[in-house]
Amino acid sequence: MATLEVKDLHVEVTDDEQKKSREILKGVNLSMKTGEIHAIMGPNGTGKSTLSQTIMGQPAYHVTQGDILLNGESIVNMPVDERARKGLFLGMQYPAEIQGVTNAEFLRAAMNARRPADDQISVMAFLKELDKNLALLNMSESMTERYLNEGFSGGEKKRNEILQLLMIKPSFALLDEIDSGLDIDALQVVSKGVNSMRGDNFGSLIITHYQRLLNYIVPDVVHVMMGGRIVKTGNADLAKTLEKEGYAGLRDDLNIDV
Ligand code: ADP
Ligand code: MG
Ligand code: MG
């Protein structure tokens, strides 16, 4: 079993134009283990993406207080690639396009990065695994010979993020608005991919604006984030209540001013 703990996390970003730092996360606590799927919901601009980027180690986000522990070990000073090797994966809201690296090359390198130098994956084993996952996601093989995300449609990028997830098999996947811009068919495919990962060796933190995704990937725990803090935690029903009553209702209930 692997664990991921966020403890009293405070994070600042520096606004390039104003050359000023601003605190975005104001004491986030979160504790999860493999076998569990957690969802984070919350209005726009409350720091959901900031949390996922900070857990992954994007350098624009400065931890000013608190800690992030992976299997009990602090990772806040580790670079992104080291966190990835240790089993973290971030599926992004806006995946980057990378010229000159094909999707297949990227996938194989990312898989090998998580394996010891004397146990790199063979070409045969790689292609077998790739074919299996392409079929699961209804993706064409030609996608894997194209440059990473270049010219991919929004839906193709999201599917491709899930392909990466299935191939790399991280311990924890942080999935940031993987449902945004997806039609219902793509949403079902993406959900099928994530659900196929469910099990004792996999945990996920699913960030979403809408409850819809959580009909397909039913979370064990739902957190609501507002104003840089987790203000409420519950089970899958909490997402349904939110869908009905909106964030405004919760804001009133909790008497918070954000
Ligand atoms: P959410 O994902 O909940 O919509 P974000 O984490 O994207 O929220 O953003 C929270 C706040 O932090 C916003 O005001 C946003 O403008 C700011 N922010 C996030 N990332 C950066 C960044 N890299 N540089 C400057 N401001 C940022
Ligand atoms: Mg946003
Ligand atoms: Mg966001």
User: Residue 159 and residue 203: Cα distance in Å, rounded?
Assistant: 19
Residues linked to residue 10 through DSSP beta bridges, in sequence order? 26, 65
Residue 171, pLDDT > 70, answer yes
45 touches ligand 1 (CB under 6 Å): yes
**ipTM attached to this prediction:** 0.96
Residue 154, pLDDT > 90, answer no
Which range (12-26, 27-41, 112-126) has the least confidence?
A: 12-26
Between the CA of 195 and the centroid of ligand 1 the distance, in Å, is 29
44 CA: nearest ligand 1 atom: 4
Residue showing tokens 């894997």: 144
- Ligand lying nearest the CA atom of residue 42: 1
pLDDT given at position 74: 98
User: Residue 251 and residue 201: Cα distance in Å, rounded?
Assistant: 36
- Give the pLDDT mean for 238-254: 86
149 touches ligand 1 (CB under 6 Å): no
Q: Whose CA is nearest to atom 20 of ligand 1?
A: 50
User: Residue 81 and residue 66: Cα distance in Å, rounded?
Assistant: 21
24 touches ligand 1 (CB under 6 Å): yes
- Ligand lying nearest the CA atom of residue 46: 1
Instruction: Give 55-80 pLDDT, tens digit per residue.
Output: 999 999 999 999 999 999 999 999 99
Number of alpha carbons in the 13 Å side-chain half-sphere of residue 191? 18
CATH topology of domain 3-97+154-254: Rossmann fold (3.40.50)
53 touches ligand 1 (CB under 6 Å): no
Reduced to 3 states (helix: H, G, I; strand: E, B; else coil), residue 41 is strand
47 touches ligand 1 (CB under 6 Å): yes
pLDDT given at position 257: 67
Instruction: Give 100-115 pLDDT, tens digit per residue.
Output: 889 999 999 999 999 9
Q: Break the chain into its structural domains and give their ranges.
A: 3-97+154-254
